[in-house]
Amino acid sequence: MKFYNIIADYYESFFPLEPQKIRFIKANQPVNNNKLLDLGCGTGQLCHELAGEDLKPTGIDLSGKMIEMARAKNPKLDFHKLDILQILNHFSCQQFGQITCLGNTIAHLKNQTEIVELLSRVYTLLDKPGSLIIQIMNFDYIISNQIDELPLIETKEWTFKRNYFLDNNQIRFVTTLTNRNKQEDYENEVILFPIMKNQLETLLEQTGFKSIKEYSDFYENPFSQKSLSYILVVNKDN
């Protein structure tokens, strides 16, 4: 988490919130329950925007610095420094109408067993009806095409380089943050579990989720095998 604490001050300039993401989430929010839980909320920008859209968002993240920043922007909102696998210890059954897990958060879990545990706990926390939105990288495309570098992120002050290295069915995610003015580099490496599309869909169905809808982006463009991003919406029915 040290690296994420370092980039917290610049996180929103690297990953600005797109208006279409807000529209997408609102369009998939069940009418019976306006409470939303954002897993891996970062600096809370999604929750802050949704709070102005008649929703009641709660955000969790493992980065203490990001949670501090999220709370500072709106002390009235509910933010917690929390492991996503610990959600059942902090929230109630059927508490939320919608749960989001965006930005490749789910790939930071260690293995399929942890993903199964997360999906089961999410299912428990969702109301009936309820919806889950997941956004991950399209690892089928990345691995089959041996993609080892994501698009470079640049601002006036920083460059943010992101590399993938496949290693024994895992991916070493190596990031380099460079200050243009001071010529300082901050490097970090985390291990990702590259869950495949069919694998994730099977786990969701086994958990009890229904009606899988797939997209390439938050504009609701249909999923393409050549897309870098994979977004899916699943439902917990009555």
Band of residue 53 on the pLDDT scale cut at 50, 70, 90: confident
Per-residue pLDDT at 169 exceeds 70: yes
DSSP string for residues in 181-223: TTTEEEEEEEEE----HHHHHHHHHHHT-EEEEEESSTT-PBP
Count the Cβ atoms, other than its own, within 10 Å of residue 57.
26
Per-residue pLDDT, 39: 98
Band of residue 93 on the pLDDT scale cut at 50, 70, 90: very high
Per-residue pLDDT, 2: 64
pLDDT tens digits for 196-230? 999 999 999 999 999 999 999 999 999 999 999 99
Per-residue pLDDT at 1 exceeds 60: no
pLDDT tens digits for 105-138? 999 999 999 999 999 999 999 999 999 999 999 9
Assess contact for 8 and 69: CB atoms under 8 A: yes
Per-residue pLDDT, 45: 95
Percent pLDDT > 90 in the chain is 84
**Mean predicted confidence (pLDDT) in 81-95:** 96
Band of residue 31 on the pLDDT scale cut at 50, 70, 90: confident
Closest by CA position to 207, among listed 123, 151, 128? 123
Assess contact for 66 and 42: CB atoms under 8 A: yes
**Mean predicted confidence (pLDDT) in 179-191:** 87
* Structure token digits, residue 28: 């998939």
Per-residue pLDDT at 50 exceeds 80: yes
